[in-house]
Amino acid sequence: MGMMKARIAGVEENNTLVLSDRRRVKLEGLLWAAERGAPAGLQRQGLAALKQQVGQTVALRAVRPQLDRYGRQRAQVILLDGIWLQRALLSRGLARAQVAPDRPECARELYAAEAEARAARVGLWAFPQYAIRTPDSLRWRDLGSFQIIEGAVLNVKVSGRAYLNFGRNWRTDFTVTISPDDMKTFRHAGVDPYAYAGKRIRVRGTIDRMNGFEIEVASPEAIEVLK
């Protein structure tokens, strides 16, 4: 993971950092409360927390590919006093963790910071709309939204695509799926989807519909096995 230093010159309304050399930085691993219907106060708090960093010199840690489709630097941001900005924001409940399949290296730490805020019910975790969901609580209005779901995997089927079933009726019950291409990522990480059978898991992603509601995951980091 490469590291470079830069000074923060400003913050855009979409929570993108602007550096003194005009590069723009996306804080990797964060999902801001910016969707339609999000409390305006949360959006203002997140933006204010970033604006407090203007003028600071920070270290940017990034791996390839370093740019997103908007040309922004994808980076973990470390303040000069050693504070990891993403972790600090998550622990205040100003965002949720969303780990990209090609950025799995910080997943455990980001999830731990998010869990701190969730346990304290601070920031977005004080609002019912961000609560962790159960499979049977999903409704049509949830389609297309990012959700965190907890439940027990009843069984697993693999036929090219993997299906982690949460109920006996695959036509109506919630399912986590893994595409044939993404199965390669699981195999490379040494994760056998069959091992999820009988486990209680926490999965995060966008709610879609394949018969019943589903989340398609692209890497093992989207799934946390709970004790």
Supply the pLDDT for residue 12.
Answer: 96
Three-state DSSP class for residue 92: coil
Residue of 182, 169, 181 lying closest to 218 (CA atoms): 182
166 and 66 within one domain:
no
Between CA 163 and CA 196 the distance in angstroms is 10
Same domain, 119 and 27: yes
Name the β-bridge partners of 175: 165, 214
Q: What is the mean pLDDT of residues 51-75?
A: 92
For the chain, percent of residues with pLDDT exceeding 90:
86
DSSP state of 56: -
What's the whole-model pTM score? 0.92
Last residue in a domain, options 96, 111, 126: 126
Last residue of a domain, one of 126, 142, 174: 126
- What was the pLDDT predicted at 2? 65
Judge whether 208 and 215 are in contact, CB under 8 Å.
Answer: yes
**Which strand (E) or helix (H) includes residue 42?**
helix 40-51
Whether residue 103 sits in one domain with residue 7: yes
Domain boundary among 108, 126, 144: 126
- CATH number of residue 150's parent domain: 2.40.50.140
Same domain, yes or no: 57 and 115: yes
CA–CA distance, 205 with 215 (Å, rounded to integer): 6
pLDDT given at position 210: 87
Residue 9 has pLDDT above 60, yes or no: yes
138-190 pLDDT, tens digit per residue, is 999 999 999 999 999 999 999 999 999 999 998 899 999 999 999 999 999 99
Q: Are residues 119 and 137 in the same domain?
A: no
- Do 150 and 204 fall within a single domain? yes
**26 and 98 together in one domain:** yes
**At 115, which CATH number?**
2.40.50.90
Q: What is the pLDDT of residue 218?
A: 96
DSSP element (H, E) containing 159 = strand 155-159
* pLDDT for the residue numbered 4: 87
pLDDT at 1: 57
pLDDT band at 64; cut points 50, 70, 90: confident
Boundaries of domain holding 18 = 2-126
Please count the structural domains in the chain: 2
